[in-house]
Amino acid sequence: MRTVVLTMKASVIEMFLVLLVTGVHSNKETSKKIKRPKFTVPQINCDVKAGKIINPEFIVKCPAGCQDPKFHVYGTDVYASYSSVCGAAVHSGVLDNSGGKILVRKVAGLSGYKGSYSNGVQSLSLPRWRESFIVLESKPKKGVTYPSALTYSSSKSPAAQAGETTKAYQRPPIPATTAQPVTLMQLLAVTVAVATPTILPRPSPSAASTTSIRRPEPVGHRSQEMDLWSTTTYTSSQNRPGADPGEMDSWKPGSVLLDEGRVPKEELSTQSLEPVSLGDPNCKIDLSFLIDGSTSIGKRRFRIQKQLLAGVAQALDIGPAGPLMGVVQYGDNPATHFNLKTHMNSRDLKTAIEKITQRGGLSNVGRAISFVTKNFFSKANGNRSSAPNVVVVMVDGWPTDKVEEASRLARESGINIFFITVEGAAENEKQYVVEPNFANKAVCRTNGFYSFHVQSWFGLHKTLQPLVKRVCDTDRLACSKTCLNSADIGFVIDGSSSVGTGNFRTVLQFVTNLTKEFEISDTDTRVGAVQYTYEQRLEFGFDQYSSKPDILNAIKRVGYWSGGTSTGAAINFALEQLFKKSKPNKRKLMILITDGRSYDDVRIPAMAAHLKGVITYAIGVAWAAQEELEVIATHPARDHSFFVDEFDNLYQYVPRIIQNICTEFNSQPRN
């Protein structure tokens, strides 16, 4: 009997070893055959709304032509999910009208969405919506899995029209050749059982359960129970509570539960999304911190500097609808640690700040400011045209290069420069300071609003709240106003008989070329036009058009009038009909073009314009009287009056006029 038992045990062990070896070999073969599927980017049409796509975060490819106004967009920077996905991508500047790949992230709904004109797309306002989304460049996050096929909330999948392969999610089948590892105890427990083949039932519609699978989601998001929106259903005796142990898995790929009217069309659940802050809308700025990484600062003070940055990041409430922040470290040369769109919330930003290490080197602040001016505030780095640009410069002691010229160019580019200087030069060290009074030469204004001086690094934390308050006070960020975005420009155009139809079109082209140089919107530069002969006609006012394409089209539509030349009356008319409606915070610029001597007096109207703060440029052509041009023009006349012998030479004066406008703007006192 003992011999029989030993023989059975030996046989069992032999069988176990054979199965074990077979299983290992089979697993190796299977692992060789199974390859990770290549990620393919789904393509959608221009009319696909974000609310129709259930996935909380996804990458898609948009076609060309989504700038068309028939594809409605609601909001600015953060868009209501009722918007066209691709239309919003063009409006945000992530794509142009030629299309391309984008990353879309769902966020919570807002109580209101403000429309705006941007990148050729006019977005609309909306009181509230239950779900929002933001559009980013299609750079996948590490560790995040994006779907190759989108999940839609309707049976009429818009992607199908775009040629997308909209495969329903399928549970990966278990290869038949794969043998699972078997333990010796499991094997001994079944040695007395008679092996019988197991027959799987064929999949049938009746085999599908009402229990829906969870759709795959990007890592970092909580899974979402989508009872009505599942794309595949299956039954599992292993997973379903209370299932019959003898019941085998039955699974049918491609079974789709469609929207049967139980849920409103645009109603989507956002409760499963991680809470994402959209940022403080009362502090919508694009902020760059220039931190001192020079060798002289030391590790301890560098760590204190990072603590201030982390505190600012927390206090600002970073988000796409509020402030965005990037960091540049300087030493011998500047380097960007992360730009405006790298981190879209305070938590991620603080984590990134903690990882910054000191570079060492000199303290070349001027070089760093030039770097930021040229490279940092670009659309590719997340710069938003609707947000003021702010730079906060941290300096330990004093710079090792000059900052005045670099700062001037930054201010003229619309950048608001703040300086925080810590532990300035002692009396015996001042001989080493390259540029005395460097902070006042650099900041946006010298009235103390843009400067902080801290006696000791241990007192740096006291600047946190005042700094946050000041950078968020967008009404006082004076350097956001540039010569190209802060004027009301009124063109006063001579339409007299001596001009002629052909030359009049040349004048309109000159007006167009000048207008193209400015940033046009209802909050930036605005343009109006008056045509005159003996009489005057308002072609369009400052508040009639709020985008550059609309203004340029309006200029093209101006019709030639023909008649006499009453320039004095035209100036009075422009003051009353145009500049009386100018905004108080706008520079008032009148650009008058005439080809002859006026039939009426121009001195009193010109003086009235000067007294009302209207800066007047007078451009004369052919038979215009130069002494009249000098009377009309603002003092000094050499900078504000121009004479051209022929209409065809008008275009040559566009760069000079723009340069004079900007030079005059930038020469204003900074106190």
> Comparing C-alpha atoms, which of 566, 564, 565, 592 is closest to residue 578?
592
> Comparing C-alpha atoms, which of 476, 354, 364 is closest to residue 418?
476
DSSP strands (E only) in 397-518: 415-422, 451-454, 487-494
pTM check: above 0.75: no
3-state class (DSSP) for residue 416: strand
Specify the pLDDT at position 633: 97
Give percent above pLDDT 90 in the chain. 60
Residue 4 has pLDDT above 90, yes or no: no
CA–CA gap between residue 304 and residue 597 (Å, rounded): 69
Per-residue confidence band for 2, with pLDDT thresholds at 50, 70 and 90: very low
Give 36-67 pLDDT, tens digit per residue: 556 789 999 999 999 999 999 999 999 999 99
**Could you tell me how many helices (H) and strands (E) the chain has, helices first?**
17, 21
Cα dihedral value 603, 607, 609, 611, nearest 10: 180
Query: Residues with Cβ < 8 Å from 354, sequence gap 6 or more?
Result: 306, 310
Of 26 and 648, the structure prediction assigns the larger pLDDT to 648
Q: Which CATH number fits domain 50-137: 3.30.590.10, 2.170.130.20, 3.20.20.70, 2.10.210.10?
A: 2.170.130.20
Specify the pLDDT at position 33: 46
Per-residue confidence band for 424, with pLDDT thresholds at 50, 70 and 90: confident
Residue 172 has pLDDT above 90, yes or no: no
3-state class (DSSP) for residue 540: strand
Give the pair of three-digit tokens for residue 506.
């040349």
The answer as to CATH 3.40.50.410 being correct for domain 286-476 is yes
DSSP strands (E only) in 30-74: 57-62
CA–CA gap between residue 45 and residue 445 (Å, rounded): 49
Mean pLDDT lowest for which of 54-68, 240-254, 645-659?
240-254
CA–CA gap between residue 102 and residue 90 (Å, rounded): 10
Specify the pLDDT at position 206: 36
Taking CA 214 as the corner, what is the angle to CA 211 and CA 219, rounded to the nearest 5 degrees? 165
Mean pLDDT lowest for which of 199-208, 525-534, 585-594, 653-662?
199-208
The structural domains of the chain, with segments of one domain joined by +, span 50-137, 286-476, 487-667
Q: β-pairing, 389-396 with 286-292?
A: parallel
Give the pair of three-digit tokens for residue 314.
């927390």
> How many residues in total does the chain contain?
671
Give the position of tokens 């009287």.
625
Specify the pLDDT at position 263: 31
Specify the pLDDT at position 224: 35
Give 145-158 pLDDT, tens digit per residue: 889 899 988 644 44
Contact 437, 403 (CB under 8 A): no
CA–CA gap between residue 328 and residue 310 (Å, rounded): 14
Give 108-147 pLDDT, tens digit per residue: 888 888 888 888 888 888 878 889 999 998 887 777 888 9
Give 572-587 pLDDT, tens digit per residue: 999 999 999 998 878 9
CA–CA gap between residue 33 and residue 329 (Å, rounded): 48
3-state class (DSSP) for residue 663: helix
Specify the pLDDT at position 671: 60
CA–CA gap between residue 33 and residue 210 (Å, rounded): 33
Residue 314 has pLDDT above 90, yes or no: yes
CATH architecture of the domain formed by 487-667: 3-Layer(aba) Sandwich (3.40)
Contact 368, 417 (CB under 8 A): no
Give 73-109 pLDDT, tens digit per residue: 999 999 999 999 999 999 998 999 999 999 999 998 8
Same fold? 286-476, 487-667: yes
Give 436-462 pLDDT, tens digit per residue: 999 999 998 888 999 999 999 999 999
